[in-house]
Amino acid sequence: MFRTVLIANRGEIAVRVARTCRELGIRVVAVYSTADRDSAVVRLADAAVQIGPAPLRDSYLNIPAIIEAARQTGAEAIHPGYGFLSEDPVFAEVCHEEGLVFIGPPPGVIARLGEKSAARALMAEHGLPLLPGNIAPVSGLAEAAAAADRIGCPLIIKAVAGGGGRGMSVVRDASELGEKFETTRATARALFGDDRVYLERYLRHARHVEVQILADQHGNVVHLGERDCTVQRRHQKLVEESPAPELPRDVADRMGRAAVEGARRAGYVGAGTFEFVVDGTTGEFFFLEVNCRIQVEHPVTELRTGIDLVEQQLRVAAGEPLAFGQDGVTGRGVAIECRINAEEPAREFAPAPGVLDRFAPPDGPFVRVDSHAYPGYRIPSAYDSLLAKLIVWAPDRPRALDRLRRALDEFAIGGPGVSTTAEFLRYLTSREEFRDAVHTTAFADQAARHWAAATTRS
């Protein structure tokens, strides 16, 4: 096992990784920007290195500064968390060249699966079902129009290099194609430095379900069950749960086997997630993409299986074989996670940073809160708005929902000018569509419009 690990990230995931490292007796090195000098992980770490000013390109995306911090502190390995450099094959390759272990898949695997068109081609080759659409990127508007005629509307335009719910546009009528094609390309160019896009069918009544996998360096691959991530705003997740409610077990099992086979064929190593979309009308499922990193929603899988995913990442990266096979993975009960963001739901989830004068998370049986916040914490405007993740477990879904409601009621969080999604999540998860598990990917945006109208009236 490693003696020293540097965490190339910030916020709650940096704290989360640090805690498992400490439990394993691993020395923790944190990196931080000038905006994060008072962050929780800096206080928790054994050593901390400032790597630059607040802008991401000068700090958390500054590869030379992160590598130098690892050199200075004697780190043997780098955990990238999620976002930032976690799926950057260049960063993974630089780590390798510098004699550092990158805690994630090999650079070639990240490159192949990070490009969505290449990932789709690989999975199609090995029999995973795809939505009708392009395998290769479209070269221009004329080719996009031809593809749209073949696919039919509604369809979705996606950036080849996209991720995190960014770089995609839904086309509901052919008259929108030209404008949305150019807008999506421009957005992809600005966000990812790559304006290539592809088209695929958009399901009106869809659920978003993903499968967690683990693979070691010795050819062993297992899945740890599925998570339902259907509750999304603007293609970004708000609520996740496991197992997926009302998903037939035979469908879930087939998805798990498909994810394991896809990971094995790709030469995957580490923790990863295979994402699928399920047609709410037919029950068919289709491969979407692979996330080559730990997921924000990994705690729901941990609570159901009792497996520490960060620990498994560390052990796999250190060369250990998985200590269990597929038969050794057992899911119990129901776990649900809500993301508490510093956002104003009534204003289309606009960021609402400020200083927290209240931060008192809930407690009690089977309630977990992953966070980097504390009373007096100044929420930086330069970064993602995630403040905390509330995760609950119960033997069945009705009791898990009751526990979630209780915990949300207890969550005291706020400050001057600070708005969060906590109250909206209380409203969202108490709605009949969610409690009856008949919601689709359109549910959260529709609920947000009702919430905004009600808030304005009051």
* Catalytic positions, written as ranges: 293
Q: Considering all CA atoms of the chain, what is the largest pairwise distance in Å, rounded to the nearest integer?
A: 60
Location of structure tokens 């272990």: 101
Q: Quickly count: other Cβ atoms within 10 Å of residue 45's Cβ.
A: 24
Q: Which tokens is 281 given? A: 């009308």
Closest CA to 14 of 70, 80, 65, 62: 80
Got the DSSP string for 114-170?
HSHHHHHHHHHHTT--B-SB-SSPP-SHHHHHHHHHHH-SSEEEEEEEEETTEEEEE
Whether residue 351 contacts residue 369, with contact meaning beta carbons closer than 8 Å, is answered with no
Whether residue 160 contacts residue 117, with contact meaning beta carbons closer than 8 Å, is answered with yes
Amino acid at 317: A
Q: Quickly count: other Cβ atoms within 10 Å of residue 232's Cβ.
A: 19
DSSP label at 28?
A: E
Q: Which tokens is 270 given? A: 């580490």
